Amino acid sequence: MHRLRFHVAYDGTDFHGWQVQPGLPTIQGMLEEIIGSIEGKPVDVIGSGRTDAGVHALAQVAAVTIENPIPPDNFRRAVNRLLPKSIRISSVSEVALNFHPRFDALRKQYEYRIFREEVCPPFERHYVYHHPYPLNERAMIEAAPLLEGEHDFTAFAAADERDALARSRVRRIFHSSLTRSGNLLFYRVAGSGFLKHMVRNMVGVLLEVGKGNFGKDDLLARLQPHCGIRPGPAVPASGLFLVSVEYDEA
């Protein structure tokens, strides 16, 4: 028995997110089906986090424990041959049996892309949020770093079935920035972990700053514990990418 860790990239457009859902196509469900066919019995594929429907990944990290002695590189080739072209495993390595992609992760990075021109090319529509309307981009750029640090992000989190467990909604954001490159605004954020819809709500609040509806104080108010402010507005999933997940490789 051995445990394999692998990086997987996917176009989330045609999937109902990462997590298995009965009767619906999901990334986790597709991987478990394909790897299970190689193993000859059901398997559990665990990811570093649950991306939502329509969200993409450049390097999601997942792991599976199998009995098949197939070498890591042969595993990659075999799985990629059977996966749809919208999902691809880029690298595989053997890890300790107790490795957990979510609990062992130290840092995750996301990127959100906003297309700013009047006409969005049709081949880009699934990978950006098209917002051609006036924005004070300078105000958004100045507000983005205010999200850095350790805060209670309840006002940026959608309701989750795990809320019943009363887990902390405090997260540490290491980096939060907004930049303009060509016809795109890029929001990049790295943190210790993220709540459901958290990044999409963060971008939504920054957009409200750009529209002049919120000021910096409105953003900071949402970071106060027990502020009672309802989350939102959330931007669409199409512009969001999971860029990387980092671990203590030692």
Collapsed DSSP state (helix, strand, coil) of residue 121: coil
Region of 15 on the Ramachandran plot (φ > 0 left; ψ -120 to 50 alpha; else beta): beta
Per-residue confidence (pLDDT) for residue 161, from 0 to 100 = 61
Domains 2-95 and 107-246 share a fold: yes
Q: Region 48-73: what's the mean pLDDT?
A: 96
Mean pLDDT of the chain: 94
Interior angle at CA 85, CA 82 and CA 87, nearest 5: 85
**Cα–Cα dist 22/26, whole Å:** 9
Q: What is the pLDDT of residue 225?
A: 86
For tokens 């931007």, name the residue. Answer: 235
Checking DSSP bridges between strand 129-130 and strand 107-115, what pairing results, if any?
parallel
For the segment(s) 2-95, the CATH number from 3.60.20.10, 3.30.70.580, 3.40.50.2020, 1.10.1200.10 is: 3.30.70.580
Of 101, 30, 29, 90, the C-alpha closest to 65 is: 101
Q: What is residue 120's predicted lDDT score, i.e. its pLDDT?
A: 96
Summarised one tens digit per residue, pLDDT across range 210-230 is 999 999 999 999 999 888 899
> Is the Cβ–Cβ distance between 116 and 178 less than 8 Å?
no
Residue 45, number of CB atoms within 10 A of its CB: 24
Question: Annotated active-site positions, please?
Answer: 52
Taking the C-alpha atoms of residue 93 and residue 49, their distance in angstroms, rounded to an integer, is 19
pLDDT grade for 119, boundaries at 50, 70 and 90: very high
CATH class as words, domain 107-246 = alpha beta
Q: What is the pTM assigned to this prediction?
A: 0.94
pLDDT at residue 166 greater than cutoff 60: no
Which residues are within 8 A (CB) of 138 and not within 5 positions of it... i.e. 6 or more apart?
Answer: none
Q: CB–CB of 27/51 below 8 Å?
A: yes
Q: What pLDDT score was predicted for residue 209? A: 97
Nearest to 133 by CA among 237, 213, 230, 240: 213
Confidence of residue 110 (pLDDT cuts 50, 70, 90): very high
Q: Judge whether residue 56 has pLDDT over 70.
A: yes
Query: 227 or 242: which carries more pLDDT confidence?
Result: 242
Distance CA 67, CA 154 (A): 41
Predicted local confidence at residue 61, as pLDDT: 98
Provide the pLDDT confidence category of residue 249 given band limits of 50, 70 and 90. confident
Say what the pLDDT of residue 213 is. 96
pLDDT band at 167 (very low <50, low <70, confident <90, very high): confident
3-state secondary structure of 130: strand
pLDDT of residue 232: 85
Average pLDDT over residues 17-35: 96
Give the domain ranges of the chain.
Answer: 2-95, 107-246
Sign of CA dihedral 196, 50, 202, 193: positive
Compute the distance between CA of residue 244 and CA of residue 101 in angstroms, rounded to an integer.
12
Q: Give 98: exposed, middle or buried? Use CB within 10 Å, 0-12, 13-18, 19+.
A: exposed
Phi, psi of 139 (to 5 degrees): -65, -40
Least confident of 133-142, 163-172, 184-193, 217-226: 163-172
**pLDDT attached to residue 165:** 58
User: DSSP state, 170?
Assistant: E
